[in-house]
Structure 1
Amino acid sequence: MKYFSKNLTEYQPDCLVGVPLIFDKFKSRISDEVKKKGLHKKVKLLMKIANVAAALGLDLRRKLFKQLLEPFGGNLQVIVTGGAAVEPGTVNWYESIGIKVYQGYGLTETSPVVAGGNDRRRKTGTCGEPLPGVKLAIANPDAKGAGEIVVSGKNIMLGYWKNEDATKEAIQEGWFHTGDLGLIDKKGFIHVTGRVKSMIVLKNGKKVFPEELESYINKLKFVKESLVWGESASDGTVEICSRIVLDKEQMSCIQTLPDDESGIKKILDSAIRDINRLVPVYKTIRYYVYGYEELVKTTSMKIKRYIETERIRAILKTTALNIKNATGKNIDKLKEMMAKSVENY
C-alpha cells in the first residue's frame, strides 16, 4: 500500500480490483483536497448535472472530472470490489466521475465468485445476482427474509483437506453454508449484511451486526478503521463496544495535540453520540477505546476479530481495568503499560 498511489500513476490501469476500504480512503483523500481548494460545492453541482446528462445519453463525466481521475492514472474505467460491503455514497462518487463500480460476492470454497453486478443488472448496495450455473438461497430466514447465505453448484469445493467434520458442517444436502448473513430482495439482488460468527446477540435476543456500526464510524474523516464487538457484563447483559483506529494526520488537523487524550475524548464522545442517534437504542455504542495502531487483518484485508478482542481483554485485565473504566482511553498506551508491567514482573 505504501507505493500504491505511485504505482497507479505509473501503470495507468483500466481496471482495479480491491476491498472497499482502499476505495473509501482514495475517495476521502481526493474529496479533502477538493474541499481545501474551496471547490466542494462546485464539484457536487457538476456531478448532479453530469449524472442527469448521462441519463439522457450525453455522458461528459470523464471529460468534466479529468483532474479527479488523474490520481488513478487517468485511464481507470472499472472498479471491482468485494470482501466487505461498499458504501452506496462511495459507489455514487466513483460513478459520478465516470468510473463504473461492480460489487461481487464469493469465497475461496466457492471457486471463488458466486455473484456480481453487470452492465445488464446492477444495483448500488447489492452484490448483484448469482452467476450462471450457481444457485444461491437463504437458510432459515427470519420475518424480513434475512438468514445465512447458502450456495450450490459445480463451483463448490469437494471438501476441506483431511477434515471430514468441518466438511460435513459446511456442506449439507448439497448446499455450502457460507457463514455470511444476508437476504435476496424482490428483484433477485443479493444483500450481504454480516457474518454469523461476528453477529452480536443481546440478552433480550435482539441481534446487532457490527459491520453496520463500523460503517458509521469509518465515515468519520479522522478514522482509519474500527472494530465493534459485544462485551458481556457481570449481570449477563451484552454491551456494544468499539476500538477506533485514528488517522494521526487527519486528527492533527482537528486536534492541535494528537496525543491529548482529553481533547480526543471530547471529539470521539461527540462523534459516538451522533452515531447513536442514527440507530435504535439497543444498537447504541456504550464504550470505546481508541489508538493509532492498525488492526490485525487477513491477507484479504478482513479484520481478525477474535484476535483483536482477545488482545483488548488481555490489556484491560493486565492494567486492572474493565471496558467501562477504559472508555475514551488510548489503547496503545495501555498496551505499553501492560508491556512494562510484564517486564517488571
Structure 2
Amino acid sequence: MREFAQPAVYTVPDGANLTDPVWSAAEEVPDKVTFRRPSGGGWTDVTAATFRDEVVGVAKGLIASGIQPGDRIGLMARTRYEWTLVDYAIWAAGAVTVPIYETSSAEQVQWILGDSGAVGVFVESSDHQSQVEAVRGSLPSLRQVWQIDASAVELLTSGGASVPSADVDERRAALGPADTATIIYTSGTTGRPKGCVLTHKNLLFEVGNALPMLPSMFNEGASTLLFLPLAHAFARLIQLGAVQSRATLGHAPDIKNLMNDLQTFRPTFVLAVPRVFEKVYNGAKQKAHKEGKGAIFDRADRVAVAYSEALDSGGPGLLLRAQHAVFDKLVYAKLRAALGGSCTHAISGGAPLGPRLAHFFRGIGLWVSEGYGLTETSPATAANVDDAVKLGTVGRPLPGMTVRIADDGEVLIAGDHVFSEYWHNPDATAEALKNGFFHTGDLGTLDDEGFLTITGRKKELIVTAAGKNVAPAVLEDRIRAHALVSQAMVVGDGKPFIGAVVTVDPDAFGPWKDKQGKPADATVGDLAEDPELRAEIQAAVDDANQAVSRAEQVKVFRILPRDFTEETGELTPSMKLKRSVVEKEYADEIAAIYT
C-alpha cells in the first residue's frame, strides 16, 4: 500500500459559502470585468457589481416564488451566461442546484427531478420545457418551470422587485459550509445515475486549495472561455475558480461557433477533454497534408515533442532551439492563433491525454495541465501544477488531499473535498465511503515523488481465458490517438485473446478517402474490409501493442460501420464509453472476432 498527501493551504472559515466571492468582488472591485456575454458577434462586459446585482434580482424572484432554504432546483441549459447567473442566484436564495445535461432524455430528466425532489426547474428552450411537461405528471414535488429563452431571468427579477434585498442577505447569512450546495447526478456508464451530494465546504475547500497551485491560469488578468457542459463537475469547478480568482469568464453555448468565439474572446487558458486536443492535432495534421505541407508539419511535430521533452532534462540545445524558432513562425504560431492568439495554458481531464500529445502542445507553446478527479471529489484531486509537472501522469495530490493505492491497485481518496453521500442511496454511499476513504473504482500507481498515474477501471479489468488481467484503457488511449480513429473498445473477457472494436472519425474519413482515391460516397461500412483502411487501423493497434505485454496485445480488431455518440447511447455526456451498451449493440461483431 502506497500513500501520498500534502498539507492544506486553505481552511474553510465558519459561516462561508459559495456566494461570498460574488459579494466581495462587487464591494472591492465593482468595475472589474468578471464576465463577457456574447452580443452581436462580439462580447459585452459584465462588471462584478452588475453580476452581484443580477444575482440578487433572480434570488429575490425565487424567494417571491416560494423557494425555501434547502429546496432543490433543476438547471437544464447549454453553457451560457444565464447558467452561471442562475446557479449563484439559487445559492443566494439558500437553495440547492441540481444540474441536468441539456442533451438528457425525458426519462433521464424524470429520474433526476423525481429522485432529487426538485420543486422547480430552469430549462433553456421550448424543447426542454416540452420534455419536462411530458413527465410532469409523475413529479409531484415540481411546482414551477422557468424557461430561460422565454425571459425567465427578467420575469423572476421583476416578480421579485418588491422583496427586500435584506431577505437575500438573511438567506446568505444562514448558509454555511455544511449545507448542501449541489446534487450532481453522475452520467453513469451503467445503471441509474447517482446523485452526488456536494456541500459548500466541499467546493470551497477544493477551490481554495487548487487555485494557489495554478497562479498562471487563475489570476485577475486571466480569462477563459467555457464550452464544456456546466452540468459536469469539471466545468463547474472552472466557473467557481474564475469567480474566486476574479478572472474573466465567457461562455460558448454552440460548439459550431467555437473557433470564431475563441478568435474574438481571446482566452488566456481553456478547459477541454482529451478528445478536443486530439481533434485539434489531427485536424491540423490533415489540413497540412491536404495542402501539400505534410512534410513540414511532421517535422514541426517531431521538433515540438523533442523540445518539450528537453525541458524536462536540462533544456533544449542550440540546434533544437533554432529549429523550434523556425517552426514557431511556420506552424506553431498558426495553431496558437486558432485559439485566439493569447492562450498559453489549458486544463485537460476526464480521460488520459497521453504523454506524446501533452509534449506536442507544450512544445508549441500551450502548456496543458492534466489532472484527475471524480464528481465525488469536487472534482479535482491531483494535477500537474505550475511548479510540479510530470507529463504522462495526472500530477500530485493537491494540498489537503490524500491519495492511497490499495493492495489491489484501487485509488482511494481522502480530504474535505470528498462528497458526503449519494442522495437517497445509503447502500451505494456505504460501498463508496469506507474507513475514511472514497473508493474510486479507478486503478493507479504512485511514484516515489507522489505523481499519480491512472491505469484503468477496476470493474473494466478484462480477464482472459488464460487468467491474464488486462486494463483496456492503456490500449484504447493509444489506438484512439491515431488520426483516423474516433473510439476504440478492447474486449476479451473470458476469451482466448484480446480483441478490439474501432470506429472511424467522421471528420478524418472524408479527407482520407480523397487522398486514397476511394469513392466519395463510400461509407465506413462499405470500406470496413478495405486493405488500406485496415492497414491504417492496424498501425494504430501495432502502436498500442508496444505499450503492453504479448499476452495483453490486441490480436484481432473489427471496424464498426459508424461512430459512437451520446445521441445513439454509446457515450455519456462527458464522453465516457458505455461498455455494456456497445457490447449489446455490437454483440455480433464482437463474437465475429472469436470465430
Output aligned runs, 1:242-257, within 5 Å.
Answer: 242-247=500-505, 248-252=509-513, 253-254=515-516, 256-257=518-519
Does the CA contact (< 8 Å) of 2:487 and 2:502 recur in 1? yes
* Cα distance in structure 2, aligned partners of 1:325 and 1:56: 46
The question of 1:22 aligning with 2:284 is answered no
SS in structure 2 at match of 1:3: helix
Q: Aligned-residue CA RMSD in angstroms?
A: 3.0
Consecutive unaligned residues of structure 1, counting only runs of 5 or more, are: 142-146, 328-345
SS in structure 1 at match of 2:346: strand
2:44 corresponding residue in structure 1: none
2:561 corresponding residue in structure 1: 291
2:549 corresponding residue in structure 1: 280
SS in structure 2 at match of 1:194: strand
Deviations 1:230-285 (A, max 9, x none): 354xxxx3542322111322441336034343653553267437347524332232
1:33 corresponding residue in structure 2: 287
1:160 corresponding residue in structure 2: 422
1:335 corresponding residue in structure 2: none
Deviations 1:74-103 (A, max 9, x none): 111111001111111111111111111101
* Cα distance in structure 2, aligned partners of 1:214 and 1:49: 24
SS in structure 2 at match of 1:10: helix
Distance 1:309 1:265, change over 3 A: farther
Does the CA contact (< 8 Å) of 2:492 and 2:499 recur in 1? yes
The question of 1:183 aligning with 2:445 is answered yes
Distance 1:46 1:174, change over 3 A: closer
> How far is the alpha carbon of 1:55 from its aligned partner?
3.3
Distance 1:55 1:262, change over 3 A: closer
* Cα distance in structure 1, aligned partners of 2:268 and 2:356: 22
* Equivalent residue for 2:472, pick from 210, 219, 231: 210
Could you tell me which amino acid in structure 1 is paired with residue 405 of structure 2? Answer: I
Amino-acid identity (%): 29
1:307 corresponding residue in structure 2: 581
Could you tell me which amino acid in structure 2 is paired with residue 130 of structure 1? Answer: P
Deviations 1:178-215 (A, max 9, x none): 01000001111000011112111123322111111212
* Cα distance in structure 2, aligned partners of 1:5 and 1:27: 14
* Cα distance in structure 2, aligned partners of 1:294 and 1:119: 35
* Cα distance in structure 2, aligned partners of 1:49 and 1:152: 37
* Equivalent residue for 2:352, pick from 55, 64, 85: 85
* Cα distance in structure 2, aligned partners of 1:325 and 1:125: 32
2:300 corresponding residue in structure 1: 43
Does the CA contact (< 8 Å) of 1:221 and 1:250 recur in 2? no
The question of 1:7 aligning with 2:261 is answered yes
Deviations 1:7-37 (A, max 9, x none): 3223222111111111011011112333432
* Cα distance in structure 1, aligned partners of 2:490 and 2:306: 38
Structure with larger Rg? 2
* Cα distance in structure 1, aligned partners of 2:445 and 2:365: 30
Output aligned runs, 1:255-274, within 5 Å.
Answer: 256-257=518-519, 258-259=522-523, 260-261=526-527, 263-264=529-530, 267-268=533-534, 271-272=537-538, 274=542
* Deviation beyond 4 Å, 4+ runs, structure 1: 48-54, 56-63
* Cα distance in structure 2, aligned partners of 1:322 and 1:297: 18
* Cα distance in structure 2, aligned partners of 1:231 and 1:304: 16
* Cα distance in structure 2, aligned partners of 1:93 and 1:75: 18
Does the CA contact (< 8 Å) of 2:488 and 2:500 recur in 1? yes
* Cα distance in structure 1, aligned partners of 2:328 and 2:532: 43
Does the CA contact (< 8 Å) of 1:218 and 1:225 recur in 2? yes
Could you tell me which amino acid in structure 1 is paired with residue 465 of structure 2? Answer: K
* Cα distance in structure 2, aligned partners of 1:107 and 1:63: 36
1:323 corresponding residue in structure 2: 591
> How far is the alpha carbon of 1:228 from its aligned partner?
1.7
> How far is the alpha carbon of 1:110 from its aligned partner?
0.9
Does the CA contact (< 8 Å) of 1:20 and 1:85 recur in 2? yes
2:219 corresponding residue in structure 1: none
Does the CA contact (< 8 Å) of 1:288 and 1:323 recur in 2? no
Distance 1:4 1:303, change over 3 A: farther
* Cα distance in structure 2, aligned partners of 1:239 and 1:139: 28
* Cα distance in structure 1, aligned partners of 2:305 and 2:279: 22
Distance 1:263 1:324, change over 3 A: closer
Does the CA contact (< 8 Å) of 2:388 and 2:395 recur in 1? yes
* Cα distance in structure 2, aligned partners of 1:135 and 1:74: 37
Consecutive unaligned residues of structure 2, counting only runs of 5 or more, are: 1-254
> How far is the alpha carbon of 1:322 from its aligned partner?
6.5
Distance 1:3 1:326, change over 3 A: farther
What TM-score do the two structures reach when normalised by structure 2? 0.48
Does the CA contact (< 8 Å) of 1:244 and 1:291 recur in 2? no
What TM-score do the two structures reach when normalised by structure 1? 0.80
Does the CA contact (< 8 Å) of 1:222 and 1:250 recur in 2? no
Does the CA contact (< 8 Å) of 1:255 and 1:263 recur in 2? no
